Amino acid sequence: MTVPRSTLRLQLHSGFTFDDAIAGVDYFAALGVSHLYLSPITRAMPGSLHGYDTIDYTCVNPELGGEAGLLRLAEAVHARQMGLIADIVPNHMGIAGSDNAWWLDILEWGRHGAHARYFDVDWHSPDPALRGKVLAPCLGAPYGEELAAGRIALSFDAAQGRFFASYGEHRFPICPVDYPMILRGAAHGEHPEMTALADHFEGLTVQPEQHPRARAAQEALRAFASTHGAKPFDAALAGYSSNATASRERLHRLLERQFFRLAWWRTAADEINWRRFFDIGTLAAVRTERAEVFDAVHALALRLFAQGVIDGLRVDHVDGLVDPREYCQRLREKLGERESERPPQLDGSRAYVVVEKILARGEALPNDWGVDGTTGYDFMNDVSALLHDPQGEAPLTATWSELSGSARTYAELAFEARRKILAENLSSELDRAARGIHRIAREQSATRDFTFTAIRRVLAELAVYFPVYRMYPHNGSRTAPDDAYFRQALEGARRSTARGDHAVLAYVAASLGGDGRDGEPRSAASALPNRERRTAATLFAQVTAPLAAKALEDTAFYRYGRLLSRNEVGADPGEFALDVDAFHAANLERARRFPYALIATATHDHKRGEDVRARLAVLSEIADDWTATLRAWSTLNAPHRRAFGSAPGIDETAADRAEVLATSEMGSSIDAVSMSTTGASMAGRAAAASQAGLSMACTPLPGPTPNWAPGPAAEAMLYQTLVGAWPYGLEHTDAKGIQAFAERIAQWQLKASREAKQQTSWHAHDEAYEAASRAFLFDILAPQRRDGFLRELSSFVARIERAGAINSLSQTLLRMTCPGVPDLYQGTELWDFSLVDPDNRRPVDFDARRACLVDTPPSEQLRNWRDGRVKLGVVHRALTLRAVSPALVLEGSYLPLTVTGPRARHAVAFARQHGDAYAIVIATRLASSLISESGDVPLVDPAAWGETSITLPPPLAGRALFDCMSPAAPKADGAGRLYLRDALSALPVALLVEEGVPHG
């Protein structure tokens, strides 16, 4: 099997191609990476910056350099004994524009198309207007308005010989059955030759056997156009112009006959009749569960694996698939069939496969999927929680309750967000699931009177209370882990539904894989055939998975701001901290079940960069100081809050249309009104504010926010973001640097406010609120504030930055040495103060990183720690150890080590053992109270550790150890005690090995 020692994720797009990656291969190899982990390489929507909107699974994206470019990259990495892992997107395809041939086929021919069964379309919609059609919710305004305005037009593509309806960038092919009518309209005028062309299509039907004839007829149109030009066809199109009432009505009737129904984008949430990726109307779910679709989707990846070009796959959004277990097992089987075709030097090696999967605390990835683990969100959660001080939870919770004006917990906010998303964004998905279960109920006399509405009601409650992303039933029945989670949902639904609905609830519970165990009411559903039970469970999962993602990560995370470092993908903001014992337990479980899973601290989907989170974690250690600082800043900046209301003169549909047809960038402006400041300290201002009854927790007006922007909760989260993302080396007097920083924060602020879906949202912009919020940001960061808020902000960051850097170095070393395969996200080997995408996908200067890579110990870079070279050094030295002693960290045992003494809670330590070889890992945590105020490096004074020590494994007692990170050679005493004042004298982390084990 090809097991990576480590991976480095690269985000490929037209601005960073395979050839650009080749230019960095020497650096990646020198860093110690064993495999490059590539974002999706299949052809995506033109200009895609991420590749997850695949439009053609059969070819390598030409914008990246095509297959030739991929082969060049493979040759370059193989020459350095490295490999490639590719990200695949089997769940959905991009369908915007006119580039997806599979999707265009079903728009043209409906359920008679060759690819009609490739997409999850409900061709039997209860809406008569959608039966046999695909809803196309792409219009920026209601259909009638767009038709009357002439923005929907009939066009002709001379290169393809096809008629289509056009709207902006979108193209909708007209069914060839209607071509005779269009062509004959021109034949009665100046172009009688169109009659002959119309005859080619006469008598054509939609049946599949007629499609070759239609293609031949379209070829005749193409040939005619190449000879005679487009003018004859212009005459045909004129009969469907929107300029006159009669021709516009003719166009409408033509469109109504097609296999698509053009609609305002707002209709999607309630009426869409095909499965999307989450609530995104430009990404259509693919039916990979069908054998022919699976083969078409994976043919390229399987071939590249067989040829030795790639060594493994990362499966995107596995929870979106109908049956993840069955899918993963089939993928493993198909890859296994191709192993013997691999080049001889690869020895028929087994493919490395990981899945993108969010695991809740205590939730386990099933063992029977045949994969090597997840992509590492679970570890990212564990290591981040480890760096938080549990003593800060109560005061920060109280502060947030005051600031937000609500004592609601994160769990309560999450329930509220789930209800909102289910009602406003995923209503059609809920309808579809309820209809499926209702159809099953109608087939039995005992349940035929359970109405659709009642089933929908109870199904909604089950979805709202379901605590994880989804179930994974086996043969139509819930597994034991599924059942435990389902019963939590069932209890919540029982509490929230009327007693009269409990019989329906019992039926739905049983139909979703139940069997009457543990006191569950038995019903007719218990005897349902497995096929119907599997169908019901699948429909339920297709509600709960997108609901969890949209309600939690994309809504509640932007509403709850107790401490934003815990609002991360894969984490539960309600879980504040993790103690050392729990961290060890999670690592032991990973080592036992999935020793080769990826472990990450940054990804292309993270909400905040790894070093932003590490710095913000320090606030948990100084909760009272942070509360006082918030109050002071609130008072200081109160004059810059902006009143807002409904923006007069805004045409909502025009704004919608602009959102659909084009993306505009809001211009920036900085209010020139200066604010007078005083020399009072923050504590003094906080006290004055308290005496005056002022705080950020102003009494809000009815509604989601007060009538000033950005509002108390959003303002509190803004301050955390400013503190967390402030780059090292940025001076508060650097006007140009502050301007660039403010633009980045403004981009985050806009996204955060829209994701919160309270005052504004992606679907309904409150432009007045957004503009006022942006003005507030630029006001408080204006150059004239350099001796006021900017100085205060910079000074506060300076207070906590060393503790934050210690956290960063600790989580870096832990990622490199804990059980699993460490994944390095592009560029994060230096400090990573990025925010949510697209900020975390900015170009990376690999040349600069190459110049920073040296062979000297990282401890020598500590004095210049702000440039990030010390972090790069930790990465490099740890990866070097993995390269020279791969068995030690890939296959070695994980041995938690006991820390004792006065500062025991401030360190975490463990050993990796393989045979007689050991590596000892020590990392500092919760360092804020240990750092000398007079120091300037991120290091605890060795004397501050006192008698704190770790107990080494018995074989190491009295033996010399060498630190891979520094010249130190600490030695344990005869009792096996290694004192931290010796081990952590040069850096806040240590990676100790015995003499004879290479250590850099």
The string of pLDDT tens digits covering residues 167-178 is 999 999 999 999
pLDDT of residue 531: 73
Specify the CATH number for the domain of residue 195. 3.30.1590.10
Percent of the chain whose predicted confidence (pLDDT) is above 90: 84
End-to-end CA separation in angstroms for the chain = 27
Say if residue 679 is in the same domain as residue 717: yes
Say if residue 256 is in the same domain as residue 329: no
What is the pTM (predicted TM-score) of this model? 0.92
Residue 328 falls inside a structural domain? yes
What's the average model confidence in pLDDT over 227-245? Answer: 88
Across all residues in the chain, what is the average pLDDT?
91
Q: What is the DSSP letter of 113?
A: S
Say if residue 355 is in the same domain as residue 422: no
What's the average model confidence in pLDDT over 381-401? Answer: 98
Cα gap 92→113, rounded to integer Å = 18
Domain end: 504, 524, 558, which one?
558
Of 724, 358, 760, 703, the C-alpha closest to 558 is 760
pLDDT of 476 over the 90 cut: no
Between 288 and 680, name the one with better pLDDT: 288
Quickly state the pLDDT bin for 530 (edges 50, 70, 90). Answer: low
Q: Are strands 893-896 and 907-914 parallel, antiparallel or unpaired?
A: antiparallel
pLDDT of residue 514: 81
Residue 64 falls inside a structural domain? yes
Residue 327's alpha-carbon distances to 369, 370, 513, 841, in angstroms, are 8, 10, 19, 30
Phi, psi dihedrals of residue 411, rounded to the nearest 5°: -60, -40
pLDDT of 784 over the 80 cut: yes
Between 142 and 524, name the one with better pLDDT: 142
Contacts 24+ apart (CB under 8 A), 392-398: 392/563, 392/576, 392/577, 392/619, 392/620, 392/621, 392/622, 392/623, 393/576, 393/577, 393/620, 395/623, 395/624, 395/627, 396/562, 396/563, 396/576, 396/619, 396/620, 396/623, 396/626, 396/627, 397/562
Three-state SS for 49? coil
Say if residue 693 is in the same domain as residue 786: yes
Q: Which H or E run contains 312?
A: strand 312-315
Residue 966 falls inside a structural domain? yes
pLDDT of residue 428: 95
Percent of the chain whose predicted confidence (pLDDT) is above 70: 91
Domain end: 741, 765, 797, which one?
797
- CB neighbourhood size of 527 (10 A): 12
On the question of a cis peptide bond just before residue 343, with omega within 30 degrees of 0, the verdict is no
pLDDT of 605 over the 60 cut: yes
Quickly state the pLDDT bin for 644 (edges 50, 70, 90). Answer: confident
What's the average model confidence in pLDDT over 481-487? Answer: 96
What's the average model confidence in pLDDT over 719-733? Answer: 97
Q: What is the DSSP letter of 960?
A: B
Residue 852's alpha-carbon distances to 27, 574, 800, 865, 869, in angstroms, are 10, 39, 25, 12, 6
What's the average model confidence in pLDDT over 813-825? Answer: 98
Say if residue 321 is in the same domain as residue 264: no
pLDDT of residue 697: 39
What's the average model confidence in pLDDT over 240-264? Answer: 95
pLDDT of 183 over the 80 cut: yes
How does pLDDT run across 933-990, given as a tens digit for each residue? 888 999 999 999 999 999 999 999 888 899 999 999 998 888 899 999 999 999 999 9
Say if residue 114 is in the same domain as residue 138: yes
Residue 393 falls inside a structural domain? no
CA dihedral 5, 10, 16, 18 (to 10 degrees): 40
What's the average model confidence in pLDDT over 419-440? Answer: 95
pLDDT of residue 625: 97
Domain of 327? Answer: 7-91+288-375
Given the structure tokens 């379309």, which residue do they identify?
121
Residue 743 falls inside a structural domain? yes
pLDDT of residue 678: 30
pLDDT of residue 177: 97
Domain end: 255, 280, 305, which one?
280
**How many domains does the structure of the chain reveal?**
5
Instruction: Give the chain's length.
Output: 1000
pLDDT of residue 699: 34
Residue 456 falls inside a structural domain? yes
CA dihedral 590, 591, 594, 600 (to 10 degrees): 60
Quickly state the pLDDT bin for 143 (edges 50, 70, 90). Answer: very high
Q: Which H or E run contains 156?
A: strand 153-157
pLDDT of residue 599: 98
Given the structure tokens 């060890």, which residue do they identify?
584
Quickly state the pLDDT bin for 523 (edges 50, 70, 90). Answer: low
Say if residue 240 is in the same domain as residue 319: no
Q: Which H or E run contains 198?
A: helix 194-201
- If phi > 0 it is left, if psi is from -120 to 50 it is alpha, else beta; for residue 517 that is beta
Cα gap 557→572, rounded to integer Å = 9
Say if residue 658 is in the same domain as residue 764: yes
| Pair 221, 182: CB distance under 8 Å | no
Say if residue 260 is in the same domain as residue 187: yes
How does pLDDT run across 657-683, given as a tens digit for each residue? 444 433 322 233 323 222 233 333 443
On the question of a cis peptide bond just before residue 819, with omega within 30 degrees of 0, the verdict is no
Residue 802 falls inside a structural domain? no
Say if residue 441 is in the same domain as residue 363: no
Which range of 401-405, 650-654, 684-688, 737-741 scores highest in mean pLDDT? It is 737-741
How does pLDDT run across 69-109, given as a tens digit for each residue? 999 999 999 999 999 999 999 999 999 989 999 999 999 99
What's the average model confidence in pLDDT over 499-512? Answer: 94
Say if residue 353 is in the same domain as residue 428: no
pLDDT of 198 over the 50 cut: yes
Residue 563 falls inside a structural domain? no
| Pair 673, 623: CB distance under 8 Å | no
Say if residue 626 is in the same domain as residue 746: yes
pLDDT of 807 over the 90 cut: yes
